[in-house]
Structures are given as C-alpha cells and as structure tokens.
Amino acid sequence: MTLLMRVIFWILLVSLVNMTAWVLADKEPSCRWMGWIWYITAQFIMCFFMVLGWGLLIPFCLTHAWNTRLALSIKDPRRRIDVWDWMPLNYVYGNPEDGVSGQCALVGNADNTALVPYMPNAPAWWRAYLWCGWRNSCDALKYRFAWPNGPCATILGHKVGWFDYAGRRLPVL
C-alpha cells in the first residue's frame, strides 16, 4: 500500500470516527466516559499524523507548496492566511488560525507582552516546516475532533480534555 493510499485511508477513518462522535454527542450529551474515550482516540490519531507529517511535509515545505488563496483567519477574519496547494493536506496539516507556512503567524515575544512574527529571518521552507510540522502539527485535526459536550479537567496544572476555543469545544493536551 503506498503512502498516499495510507494517508487517504486515515483521513477517511478520521472522518468516520468524527461523524460517529457527533451522533453520539447529540444522543447522549451526559455520557462523560464516551467523551474521554473519544479524547484518547483523537490524541492517538493526532500523534500518528504528527509523526507522519515530520517526513511527509518536507517536500511540500521545500517547494513552497502554499499560497494565500481566499483563506481568512478564524481568529481575525480581516487577516489573510496561507493554505497548502494540495488541498488534502489542509484537512490534517492546515492551520485555520495562522496559516501553514508561519509567515502569517503572530506569536508571543520572549516575555509575552506583544505579538511578533514567527521566525521572520528564517528561510521560508524552514519556517514552514517548523511551524506546520513541529509547532502546530496536525492543527486542523483538532477542529475535526471538536465535540460540543466533551469533558475537561485540569491535572497537575495542565488542561486536559475539551475546551472552548474559536467558538468550538476542541481537544487540548
């Protein structure tokens, strides 16, 4: 089985699981144990795609395979962001908040007092690889796994579970 076929298989599997979770969420909103099972499953799937992306994204980053089509940030609808040219990548490795290459990203400075561009002096391919493959790996998947009734907890000072972000309840680890 080729790598492309495996990626397509996993995307289809994620879609099926995502649809199942939405159905269960609508029928049994008080079922917390199902939320935690779904959360753990989502984390394993995201981990798999993160590791896969470390290799898969290299040629796309080296060839600057992104553009600023009509995509707008969900954080700031006035700000344009970039997306992958090959649209299936956006389903898993897209970033609807800051774009995929990091060139549109604003991150906190060293003392978290202001927002600054992400790695402004780095080569574009390297910034894109670190942004999409390492810092925000599989960012689009958290939106695929959104669950309106997902449970949440704070364990040893860390948020775990489903938290409200960008108008949805997203998995956070």
pLDDT band at 149 (very low <50, low <70, confident <90, very high): confident
Asked if pLDDT for residue 23 goes beyond 60, the answer is no
Average pLDDT (127-151) is 89
Q: Do 39 and 153 meet the contact criterion of CB atoms below 8 Å apart? A: no
Average pLDDT (80-86) is 93
For residue 153, what pLDDT is reported? 84
Q: Do 93 and 21 meet the contact criterion of CB atoms below 8 Å apart? A: no
Dig out the tokens for 131 from the structure: 């942004």
Strands of 18-128, DSSP E: 66-67, 83-84, 106-108, 115-117
Query: Percent of the chain beyond pLDDT 90?
Result: 36
Residue 65, C-beta contacts closer than 8 angstroms, at least 6 positions apart: 59, 84, 85, 86
Asked if pLDDT for residue 24 goes beyond 60, the answer is no
Question: Which of 34-38, 113-117, 149-153 holds the top average pLDDT?
Answer: 113-117
For residue 29, what pLDDT is reported? 47
Of 7-11, 51-55, 56-60, least confident by mean pLDDT is 7-11
Question: Which of 31-40, 52-61, 68-77 holds the top average pLDDT?
Answer: 52-61
Note the Cα 94 to chain centre separation in Å.
Answer: 6
For residue 27, what pLDDT is reported? 47
Pick the closest to residue 94 from 165, 143, 58 (CA basis): 143
